[in-house]
Amino acid sequence: MDKKKMKILVVVEVVVLVALIVVLMMLKGGYEETAKRSSNEQVKNYLDKNTQVLVDQWRAVDQYSMAWKLVHTVLSGAKTEAAFNTSLAAIQADKDARFKQISHLYSSVGINADVQNGIFKKAGLVEESILLKNEKTSKEVACGQNCVVKFNFVKGKLKNVDYSALIQYNLANSLKIEKPAEFRFE
């Protein structure tokens, strides 16, 4: 190869090299930003999804606690439809007592106040009434996720209460904390 051609090749190669270095520098910033954004987004999505399970669990425990209190109050008291209505309204309205009952259950297994307050801040207490069905002879209340307690009345008197769903209640059947998915660099 003659010297002139070799010179041209060297110049071309220098130009290619410089261009590659420029592209590399440009991509460096892009990669860094993509990596940070991608990681942060996926972490946030997972934490949101994960925390939502604890929020749903808290709310389910709120319904569960109210349902047990209602069953006990109705069975302890007058056992009438009127007593049921009064008890239900009083239990739902007493938000301090509801928080206390949930907090007591969480504390019983050593979950500290900071963790409880963190979940409570996001979950609050269930706003909707737990009364799902309200007929003269038949009433149903929610007692958590996929859990219903049934009260039957005859002429305003309690005939029976079916709280077998509460006795068999298992939150792990309806809620689950998922393992983190594989990270995707995108």
Q: What does the binding site for other proteins look like in residue numbers (CB under 8 A)?
A: 3, 6-7, 9-10, 13-14, 16-17, 20-21, 24, 27-28, 31-32, 34-36, 38-39, 42-43, 46-47, 50-51, 53-54, 57, 61, 64, 68-69, 71-72, 75-76, 97, 100-101, 103-111, 115, 119, 163, 166-167, 169-172, 175, 177, 179-180, 183, 185
CB of 135 to other proteins, least distance (A): 23
**Residue 33 to residues 23, 36, 38, 55, 166, Cα–Cα distance (Å):** 16, 5, 8, 32, 50
37 or 133, CB closer to other proteins? 37
Nearest to 92 by CA among 132, 68, 126: 126
81 or 161, CB closer to other proteins? 161
d(CA 155, CA 137): 8
Element (H, E) at 113: helix 113-123
CB of 37 to other proteins, least distance (A): 9
Q: Do the Cβ atoms of 181 and 46 come closer than 8 Å?
A: yes
CB of 133 to other proteins, least distance (A): 20
What lies within 8 Å, CB to CB, of 3 at 6+ separation is: none
39 or 134, CB closer to other proteins? 39
CB of 64 to other proteins, least distance (A): 7
Q: Do the Cβ atoms of 55 and 123 come closer than 8 Å?
A: yes
100 or 157, CB closer to other proteins? 100
CB of 154 to other proteins, least distance (A): 16
36 or 136, CB closer to other proteins? 36
d(CA 140, CA 132): 5
